């Protein structure tokens, strides 16, 4: 740096002693440098003396602002500390008490369902067939949390696992008045003895091989059918599947909503609990459903197994998507159900399009590959098939699919040709069973 550049620093006393001595020596020798120094000093003095005195204001405002800022910051910190403390305390309490509540709830459930199952077994008016299928005292109760119907969405990702519809066969032996812990009868007003007699006459075939209850507690399988009935008349009954997945019972999907003209005597009524929700401990349901609605039930059951995307409000409406029936039920949209189905209609009755088509295996007639969507839209009369031939096909189909777990369902007329007794049995499909 040149002497000229250091002159200002020399004037300000900002040079080190060595450099200051050099500048001093140069100043003694160079009058031009001295003149420059003089100008710098004069200029500096002018600047320092010329600055106007500035009137200060705003100190009080600044102090107030500082106080406000500090107060808000402190309150924010306090809120944070309080909130954090409360959250920690709540978490601590939850962690400490959750095991206690959980155990108590589990114990209460076990006791309740054990007593329920025992009472079902002890009831005298239960048909032998159903009595044998009453739940053991160790049966795991299905969920009472109907709100888990949101799991309905999962249906689109997960078909009904290993739940199978094996057959819908005539079962005229079960009187419509029979009610057990494992069944619910949806009854219309009696149509009289004549209707009952006609009904028996037209359903002379003994029940097909009733599928025993599977292990309904296996993960990912249908373990029960949930029936939700309203107390008012006419009653709306909602059927839905429930499953136990990772120890949590979930409603897999809603089968459908059906209106019946009278109030339903439900298990809930018997045990004096919430009458709006009844859950069946077994995987069997007996439902006497009006004729015009029974087909819809069956169709809905099948559609439920096809993992179609739900549409409409509340997930009650199932998409009638393109679905073909093969050995198993397959959806063209890629959601493949490993369910197999064989259905039969009661003699003299007109099965619906669903019934007829779902009974068809790979070697079935041409309509076997028709879509469910189409079949659902058809009137039952349009899908009349020879019942005997149909049953034969069903038996052959069932024989080919002995490993498949099934849903067994029977339909029959009871009392009146306008009613149909629907029996649905869900059983577990053996693990590692290849999807047909």
Partner 1 sequence: MTNRSTEGEMASIARQHYDAVFRFCARRVGIDRAADVSQDTFLTAQKVFHKFRGESNLTTWLFGIANNECRRISRKQRCEPVLLQIDPEGPADDGAESAIVDRHALQQALSKLSAEHREIVILHEIEGLTYEEAAAVLSVPVGTVKSRLHHAFLQLRRSLFTAEEAAR
Q: How far is the CB of 34 from partner 1 (least distance, A)?
A: 14
C-alpha Rg value of the chain to the nearest Å:
41
Report which secondary-structure segment, H or E, holds 426. Answer: strand 416-426
Q: Which is nearer to partner 1, 76 or 189 (CB)?
A: 76
Q: Which is nearer to partner 1, 53 or 381 (CB)?
A: 53
Q: How far is the CB of 48 from partner 1 (least distance, A)?
A: 6
13: left (phi over 0), alpha (psi -120 to 50) or beta: left
Q: Which is nearer to partner 1, 50 or 100 (CB)?
A: 50
Which 26-65 positions form the footprint of partner 1 (CB under 8 A)? Answer: 36, 39-40, 43-44, 46-59, 61-63, 65
Binding letters toward partner 1, positions 86-125, x by CB under 8 A: ----------------------------------------
**Candidate residues 3, 9, 20, 316; the one interacting with partner 1 per rule CB under 8 A:** 9
Tokens of 115: 């007593």
* Residue 42 burial (C-beta neighbours within 10 Å; 0-12, 13-18, 19+): exposed
Q: How far is the CB of 334 from partner 1 (least distance, A)?
A: 58
Q: Which is nearer to partner 1, 44 or 236 (CB)?
A: 44
Which 164-193 positions form the footprint of partner 1 (CB under 8 A)? Answer: none
Q: Which is nearer to partner 1, 76 or 83 (CB)?
A: 76
Which 63-82 positions form the footprint of partner 1 (CB under 8 A)? Answer: 63, 65-67, 69-70, 73-74, 77
Q: Cα 19 from chain centroid?
A: 86
Contact 214, 164 (CB under 8 A): no
**Can you tell me the distance from the alpha carbon of 216 to that of 244, in angstroms, rounded to the nearest whole number?**
8
Q: Which is nearer to partner 1, 30 or 70 (CB)?
A: 70
Q: Is 290 helix (H, G, I), strand (E, B) or coil?
A: strand
Q: Count interface residues toward partner 1 (CB under 8 A).
A: 37
Q: How far is the CB of 86 from partner 1 (least distance, A)?
A: 21
CB atoms within 10 A of CB 263: 16
Q: Which is nearer to partner 1, 14 or 122 (CB)?
A: 14
Residue length of the chain:
436
Nearest CA to 249 out of 227, 217, 272 is that of 217
Q: Which is nearer to partner 1, 68 or 153 (CB)?
A: 68
Binding letters toward partner 1, positions 244-283, x by CB under 8 A: ----------------------------------------
**Any residues with CB less than 8 A from the CB of 8 and at least 6 apart, and which?**
40
Q: How far is the CB of 75 from partner 1 (least distance, A)?
A: 11
Q: Which is nearer to partner 1, 71 or 109 (CB)?
A: 71
Residue 16 is a binding residue for partner 1 (CB under 8 A): no
**Can you tell me the distance from the alpha carbon of 436 to that of 336, in angstroms, rounded to the nearest whole number?**
10
**Can you tell me the distance from the alpha carbon of 198 to that of 194, in angstroms, rounded to the nearest whole number?**
6
348: left (phi over 0), alpha (psi -120 to 50) or beta: left
Nearest CA to 408 out of 101, 97, 174, 70 is that of 174
Q: How far is the CB of 68 from partner 1 (least distance, A)?
A: 9
Q: How far is the CB of 59 from partner 1 (least distance, A)?
A: 5
Q: How far is the CB of 21 from partner 1 (least distance, A)?
A: 18
What does the CA dihedral 330, 159, 294, 346 come to, rounded to 10 degrees? 60
CB atoms within 10 A of CB 146: 15
Residues binding partner 1 (CB under 8 A): 4-5, 7-9, 12, 14, 36, 39-40, 43-44, 46-59, 61-63, 65-67, 69-70, 73-74, 77
């Amino acid at each position: 740096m040149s002497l000229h550049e250091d002159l200002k620093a020399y004037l300000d006393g900002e040079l080190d002693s060595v450099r200051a001595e050099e500048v001093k020596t140069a100043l003694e020798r160079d009058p031009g440098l001295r003149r420059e120094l003089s100008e710098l000093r004069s200029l500096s003095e002018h600047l320092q003396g010329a600055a106007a005195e500035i009137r200060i204001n705003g100190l009080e405002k600044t102090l107030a602002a500082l106080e406000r800022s500090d107060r808000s910051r402190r309150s924010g910190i306090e809120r944070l500390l309080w909130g954090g403390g409360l959250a920690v305390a709540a978490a601590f309490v939850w962690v400490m008490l959750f095991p206690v509540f959980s155990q108590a709830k589990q114990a209460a459930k076990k006791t309740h369902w054990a007593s329920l199952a025992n009472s079902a077994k002890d009831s005298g008016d239960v048909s032998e067939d159903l009595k044998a299928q009453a739940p053991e005292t160790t049966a795991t109760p299905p969920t009472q949390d109907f709100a888990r119907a949101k799991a309905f969405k999962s249906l689109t990702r997960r078909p009904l696992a290993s739940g199978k519809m094996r057959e819908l066969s005539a079962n005229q032996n079960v009187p419509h008045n029979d009610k057990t812990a494992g069944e619910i009868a949806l009854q219309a007003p009696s149509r009289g003895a004549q209707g009952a007699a006609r009904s028996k006459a037209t359903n002379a075939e003994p029940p097909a091989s009733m599928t025993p209850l599977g292990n309904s507690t296996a993960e990912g399988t249908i373990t029960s059918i949930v029936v939700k009935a309203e107390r008012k008349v006419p009653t709306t009954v909602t059927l839905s599947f429930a499953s136990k997945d990772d120890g949590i019972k979930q409603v897999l999907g809603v089968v459908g909503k059906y209106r019946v003209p009278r109030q339903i005597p439900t298990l809930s009524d018997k045990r004096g609990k919430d009458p709006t929700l009844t859950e069946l401990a077994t995987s069997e349901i007996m439902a006497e459903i009006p004729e015009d609605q029974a087909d819809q039930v069956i169709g809905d059951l099948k559609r439920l197994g096809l993992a179609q995307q739900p549409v409409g409000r509340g997930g009650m409406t199932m998409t009638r998507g393109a679905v073909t029936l093969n050995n198993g039920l397959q959806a063209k949209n890629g959601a493949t159900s490993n369910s197999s189905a064989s259905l039969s209609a009661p003699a003299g009755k007109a099965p619906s399009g669903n019934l007829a088509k779902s009974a068809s295996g790979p070697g079935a007639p041409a309509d076997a590959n028709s879509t469910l969507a189409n079949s659902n839209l058809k009137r039952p009369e349009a899908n009349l098939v020879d019942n005997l031939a149909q049953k034969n096909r069903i038996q052959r189909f069932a024989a080919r699919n002995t490993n498949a777990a099934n849903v067994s369902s029977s339909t029959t007329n009871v009392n009146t040709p306008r009613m149909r007794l629907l029996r649905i049995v869900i059983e577990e499909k053996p693990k590692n069973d290849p999807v047909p």
